[in-house]
Chains A and B, each alone.
Chain A
Amino acid sequence: MDRSARESLLDRDPDDPVRVLDDDGAVVGTVPDLSDSRLVELYRDLRLARRFDARAVSLQRQGRMGTYPPMAGQEGAQVGSAYALADRDWVFPSYREHAVSHVHGVALADILRYWMGDERGSAHGANVFPVAVPIATQIPHAVGFGWAAALAGDDVVTVAHFGDGATSEGDFHEALNFAGVFDTPTVFCCHNNQWAISVPRERQTASATLAGKASAYGFTGVQVDGMDPLAVYRVVAAAVERARTADGAPRPTLVESLEYRFGAHTTADDPTVYRDEAEVERWRERDPIPRLEAFLRDTGRLDDERVAAVETEVEATVADAVEAAEETRRAPPTAMFDHVYAEAPSELTAQRAALAALYERVGEEGFE
C-alpha cells in the first residue's frame, strides 16, 4: 500500500468505519491484495475458529475443561488481524483471542491445555505472549516490547488485543500515552464487542467512539467493521506498515474493531440476564463467515466441493487438537515449584520435597 492509500484508509474520521464487504458479502470497498489461495485459507481459518470454539464450549459443559471465554462472532476480526502480521511480529492477547494466537503460531492443543488448567499450554514457543487475564495489563507489555525492538534496530511490530472494557483501565491510557511519546511500533487492536460482561459500550465511556481516544495520545484511531475480515485485514495491514516505519518513523495506531460476541462472556456467564436476544439476532446477520463465504463464492473462489473439503479438514483438525490436549499426561504435583525463580531458594526446595514426600505416601486419594 502506498502512503496516500494508507492515509486515506487510516486517517479518516474516527466514526467512519472501514468496510470491504457489506452484510451480504457484496464488495463495497477495496478488496485487499491477497492471493486466491490465501483468501480461501482465511475462510478456512474462520471456520476452524468457529468449530474450535463450539468444541471448547462443549468440553466445558461436559466437565472436560474449565471456564472458557468463547469468541464466536469475533473470528473475522481475529483472523483478519492476524493475517496482517509477519511471522517475526509479536501478539499480546487478552484471554479471548484464541484465533489470533492460533493463526500466529500457537497450536490449538496448547490453547486447550491452558484452558484445561495446564501451564504448559503457555510454553508454546510462538511469538504470542501468555494470555493476560487481568484486564488491559498486556497493553503496556506490547508497548515495551516493541519499543525495545525498535531500540535494537529490529523490524518487529507488536499488536495488543483487548476489549472495549479495557479502555477504561489506567493501563490502557498509560500504554497508549507511552506509545505516542516514544513512537513505538505498536498496533492497538480494540475488539469492541459491545459488552464488557454485562456493561454495554455506552456505559463504559461517554466518548462517541473508542477510536477517537487516540487523538488524545497524538496518533491515529480508526474504526473498522470487525465482522468483515477483509476490512480488518486491510486496516491492520496498513497500521502495521505505519508501525514499520513505512512513513519515515514508526507510529502507533489504535484500531477500534466493531464486533459482537454471539455467546456468553465465559461459560460461567448467562447473557440473557443483561442483554436482548433481538440484539444478538441483529448482529448474527452480520456473521463474518457467511459474509466471506458469499464473497468467495460470488467471485468463483469457492464452491460446494471446496466448502465440504474445508468442513472435513476443520473437523479433523479440531478433533486432533482435542485428542492431543486430553492425552497430555497431567504434570506431577511438584511441577508447581518449577520456574518460580531461575534458581529455587532453599525454602522452596524444602516445600517441594515435603509435597513430593506426601504425594508419594498418600497418592492421589490424599488430595481429593
Chain B
Amino acid sequence: MSGAAPATSLTLVQAVRDGLAGELARDDDVVILGEDVAANGGVFRATDGLLDEFGPDRVVDTPLAESGIVGASVGMAAYGLRPVPEIQFSGFLYPGFDQLVSHAARLRTRSRGAVTAPVTLRAPYGGGIRAPEHHSESKEAFYAHEPGLTVVVPSTPRDAKGLLASAVRSPDPVVFLEPKRIYRAFREDVPDEAYTVPIGEATVRREGADVSVITYGAMTQPALDAAEALADDGVDTEVVDLRTLAPLDRETLVASFEKTGRAVVVHEAPRTAGVGAEVVAALQEAALLYQEAPVERVTGYDVPVPLYALEQFYLPNALRVREAVERVVSYR
C-alpha cells in the first residue's frame, strides 16, 4: 500500500462491502449466500448492490435456514468454491452451530487434510444499537474455543477490508465478527485497491509506557477515550487491539506487558470464560516476572444482555476502563 494509492473515505460497513466486492471481482470462486443479502443488499447494507454487479449465482438469497447456509457452504467449499456466508445477526447462528463446529472446523483434521472447508462466515455482533432481544450478544468465545476455527474482529474500516480479504483467501474457516455498533460510527480512508491485513496480528492503537489496555472490536474506542482522559492525569496508556481472537497474537500482547507490567483487558462479552481470561493467562504464562499489579478485566456481566432500556449499564464504557486503569496503575 503506497501512501499515494487512491483511497475513499468509508465507514466500517462500507469497507466490508468494498472488501466483498473486491474479493468477488478477484476470484470467480467467491460466492456470497445468506438471508436478505441479494435483493435487499443485507439488513445492514453490507452486500448492497453486489447482486446487480455479480449476479444471482454469486450473491444468493437463501431460504431462512442457518444450518443450511453453513452446511451448504461447507459442501461448496469442499468442492472448491470460496463461500462467504452471512449470518444476519450472530445471535441467529446457532441453528448453524453444529455445521460450524462439527464440520467446518474439523473437516481438515478429520480427513487428514484431504477435505477442507475454507468458509468465511460473516456476522454482525455485539450491543449498543438498542436492538431487540437476541440481537446484541457477544459470543466470540464460543468460536475461539473451537479448534480449527479462526476468529477475527475488525475495529476500523481499513482493517475490516484487509482482514476480510485475508479471511476469504485463508485455507481455513474464519468466523468474521463485525462490531455493528461501529458499522457507521466513523469513517477512514480505505485504499480502493485490494489489500490484505494479516490474520493473527494484533496492533498497538496507541503507545504508552504505564499500562496496557488490551481490547478489540467496538470496545477499542472507549479504551482509546479512556486513554486520552488518563493522559490528562499523567497516565501513559497503551491500547492494544487484538484484531484476531484465535489464534491470539501472544507476542504483541506480551511485548506490551513486558513494557508496562500492568494491564486491563476489556470486552463486552460476559466475563466468565471470556477471551479476557485467555489474554490474562497468556500474560501470566509468558511474563509473570514483569507483572506489577493484578490484571483487571472490564467486561459485560455474566447475565443475558439486557433489553435496551438497561443496555448502557451492561456495556463497558470509557469510565469503567479508566477506573480499572487507575486501580491497576496505583497498585503497589
Report the Cα distance A256→B320, complex, angstroms. 51
Interface 0/1 of A62-106, CB less than 8 Å to B: 000011000000000000000000000000000100000000000
Interface 0/1 of A248-274, CB less than 8 Å to B: 000000000000000000101100011
Residues of A within 8 A of B65 (CB): 168-170
Residues of B within 8 A of A170 (CB): 65, 67, 95
Report the Cα distance A166→B132, complex, angstroms. 18
Are A165's CB and B64's CB within 8 A? Answer: yes
Are A117's CB and B130's CB within 8 A? Answer: yes
The B-contacting residues of A in range 103-117, CB under 8 angstroms, are 114-117
Q: Given A66-B132, A337-B303 in contact, is the A117-B309 Cβ separation under 8 Å?
A: yes
Report the Cα distance A8→B14, complex, angstroms. 56
Does A280 make an interface contact (CB < 8 A)?
A: no
Report the Cα distance A116→B130, complex, angstroms. 10
Does B302 make an interface contact (CB < 8 A)?
A: yes
Does B311 make an interface contact (CB < 8 A)?
A: yes
Q: What are 24 A-B pairs at a CB distance below 8 A? A: A114-B307, A118-B307, A119-B306, A131-B133, A133-B133, A133-B135, A134-B94, A168-B68, A169-B66, A170-B67, A197-B43, A199-B63, A203-B61, A203-B63, A266-B132, A268-B43, A274-B40, A336-B303, A336-B313, A336-B314, A337-B301, A347-B302, A358-B320, A367-B319
Does B312 make an interface contact (CB < 8 A)?
A: yes
Interface 0/1 of B284-306, CB less than 8 Å to A: 00000000000000000111101
Residues of B within 8 A of A278 (CB): none
Closest A residue to B307 using CB positions: A117
Q: Given A170-B67, A198-B61 in contact, is the A336-B310 Cβ separation under 8 Å?
A: yes
Are A66's CB and B308's CB within 8 A? Answer: yes
Interface 0/1 of A314-346, CB less than 8 Å to B: 000000000000000011010111001000000
Does B41 make an interface contact (CB < 8 A)?
A: yes
Report the Cα distance A171→B65, complex, angstroms. 10
Are A134's CB and B92's CB within 8 A? Answer: yes
Does A9 make an interface contact (CB < 8 A)?
A: no
Residues of B within 8 A of A171 (CB): 95
Interface 0/1 of A170-211, CB less than 8 Å to B: 110000000000000000000000001111000111000000
Report the Cα distance A197→B86, complex, angstroms. 15
Does A135 make an interface contact (CB < 8 A)?
A: yes
Count, A-B residue pairs, CB within 8 A: 119
Nearest Cβ on chain B to A147's Cβ, whole angstroms: 22
Contact of B35 among A131, A199, A337, A362 (CB under 8 A): A199
Report the Cα distance A197→B135, complex, angstroms. 16
Size of the B side of the interface (Cβ < 8 Å), in residues, is 42
Residues of A within 8 A of B67 (CB): 170
Does B272 make an interface contact (CB < 8 A)?
A: yes
Are B135's CB and A199's CB within 8 A? Answer: no
Nearest Cβ on chain A to B100's Cβ, whole angstroms: 14
Nearest Cβ on chain B to A338's Cβ, whole angstroms: 9
* Centre residue among B63, B271, B320 by max chain A CB count within 10 A: B63
Are B36's CB and A197's CB within 8 A? Answer: yes
Interface 0/1 of A113-140, CB less than 8 Å to B: 0111111000000000001011100000
Does A348 make an interface contact (CB < 8 A)?
A: yes
Does B169 make an interface contact (CB < 8 A)?
A: no
The A-contacting residues of B in range 77-128, CB under 8 angstroms, are 91-92, 94-95
Report the Cα distance A198→B64, complex, angstroms. 11
Report the Cα distance A366→B308, complex, angstroms. 17
Nearest Cβ on chain A to B9's Cβ, whole angstroms: 24
Q: Given A133-B135, A134-B92, A168-B64 in contact, is the A116-B309 Cβ separation under 8 Å?
A: yes
Does A277 make an interface contact (CB < 8 A)?
A: no
Interface 0/1 of A128-167, CB less than 8 Å to B: 0001011100000000000000000000000000000110
Does A2 make an interface contact (CB < 8 A)?
A: no
Contact of B310 among A66, A335, A358 (CB under 8 A): A335
Are A351's CB and B271's CB within 8 A? Answer: yes
Are A198's CB and B308's CB within 8 A? Answer: no
- Given A116-B309, A198-B39, A347-B302, list of 17 further CB < 8 A pairs? A117-B130, A117-B307, A117-B311, A131-B133, A133-B132, A134-B95, A135-B64, A168-B65, A169-B64, A169-B66, A197-B36, A197-B40, A199-B39, A199-B61, A269-B43, A273-B41, A358-B323
Report the Cα distance A331→B314, complex, angstroms. 13
Does A368 make an interface contact (CB < 8 A)?
A: yes
Does A295 make an interface contact (CB < 8 A)?
A: no
Does B134 make an interface contact (CB < 8 A)?
A: yes
Contact of A199 among B36, B92, B131 (CB under 8 A): B36
Are B64's CB and A359's CB within 8 A? Answer: no
Report the Cα distance A274→B37, complex, angstroms. 11
Are B271's CB and A333's CB within 8 A? Answer: no
Does B317 make an interface contact (CB < 8 A)?
A: yes
Closest B residue to A118 using CB positions: B309
Closest A residue to B312 using CB positions: A367
Report the Cα distance A305→B308, complex, angstroms. 43
Residues of A within 8 A of B311 (CB): 117
Residues of A within 8 A of B319 (CB): 362, 366-367
Does A34 make an interface contact (CB < 8 A)?
A: no
Closest A residue to B301 using CB positions: A351
Does A355 make an interface contact (CB < 8 A)?
A: yes
Residues of A within 8 A of B134 (CB): 133-134
